[in-house]
Amino acid sequence: MTTDMHRRPGRRGDPLTDPDWPPRPLIVAVGNGKGGVGKTTDVLGLAATAGKHGIRTLVVDTDPQSSAVKASTALRNPGYEFVAELDPGVLARIGDVEGFGLIIVDTPGNITTNEVLAKVLEYSDMAVIPSDMTVLSATETVETVDYVTGHGCRPRVLLNGLPAGASRVELEARLFLARKAIQVFEPMITRRAVHQHAIRDGIPISEYPGDVADLARQELRAVLTEIGQLRPGLFGDAETGALATPMAAG
């Protein structure tokens, strides 16, 4: 369902460490200066997975193409709420949105001269940078990491769209990023057509039938669990980080 970004008066500070701050959502920006790396597909998958585990989630689409909102609108019961927003002034209040456990921001592709992206990063707790780490995308990925870091946000690369069983490709990608001291998610998102099939059929990946969809969900849960480690206990068990039991389809 779509939603409005209801906000309370904003104030500066660090809501992750300041005990006087009221609880607020974990804010995660997802993006890469290189297009075609599965950014929006990851956003939809993570949001649906979070919703399935009882985390009230808001997707904020800041990409002028509005791909996330268009795809979400086509889904039957996506399991999360979504809104399009391109106004940097409104996005500056994103940390004051109430009632959500997680906000995932689908960012625009242009990372160098984009006021919207700069404002999102200013208030985000983490930037997830999906990358297939091909020759063409590796340079853009490093540039995106540098841009995110320069705006005071925590970057972490998510290996995304690698073929199943591509252990050598994965190892080379991890070594390349390690040499540049870039953080990488331990889990990765394997290239699976089921992600696109789910969107095509109007069913969130969290509800899509089949064994391949189960594998895709396992990967998404692993990524979401690692994201949740930024705020222990927010998504589930404070000690193990395990997500809450998935809710039955409604």
* CATH code where residue 222 lies: 3.40.50.300
Q: Quick check: is 221 in a domain? A: yes
Q: Quick check: is 15 in a domain? A: no
Q: Quick check: is 144 in a domain? A: yes
In the numeric block, which tokens belong to residue 215?
Answer: 């594998």
Q: What is the residue range of 33's domain?
A: 26-228
Report the number of distinct structural domains present in the chain: 1
Q: Quick check: is 42 in a domain? A: yes
The confidence score (pLDDT) of residue 242 equals: 60
Contact 167, 195 (CB under 8 A): no
Q: Quick check: is 143 in a domain? A: yes
The confidence score (pLDDT) of residue 4 equals: 54
Report the distance separating Cα 105 and Cα 29, nearest Å: 5
In the numeric block, which tokens belong to residue 147?
Answer: 């841009």
Q: Quick check: is 58 in a domain? A: yes
Describe the strand order of the beta sheet including 57-61 as a list of residue ranges.
81-84, 57-61, 102-106, 26-30, 126-131, 155-162, 189-190
Q: What residues of the chain score a pLDDT lower than 50?
A: 1, 6-17, 20-22
In the chain, the DSSP E strands lie at 26-30, 57-61, 81-84, 102-106, 126-131, 155-162, 189-190
The confidence score (pLDDT) of residue 23 equals: 65
pLDDT in tens, 48-99: 999 999 999 999 999 888 999 999 999 999 999 999 999 988 998 898 888 8
Region for residue 11 given its phi and psi (left: phi exceeds 0; alpha: psi -120 to 50; beta: otherwise): beta
Residue bearing tokens 């999906």:
130
Q: Quick check: is 86 in a domain? A: yes
Report the distance separating Cα 134 and Cα 47, nearest Å: 26
Q: Quick check: is 99 in a domain? A: yes
The answer to pTM > 0.85 is yes
DSSP state letter for 96: G
Which residues are CB-contacts of 89 (< 8 A; sequence separation ≥ 6)? none
The confidence score (pLDDT) of residue 15 equals: 42
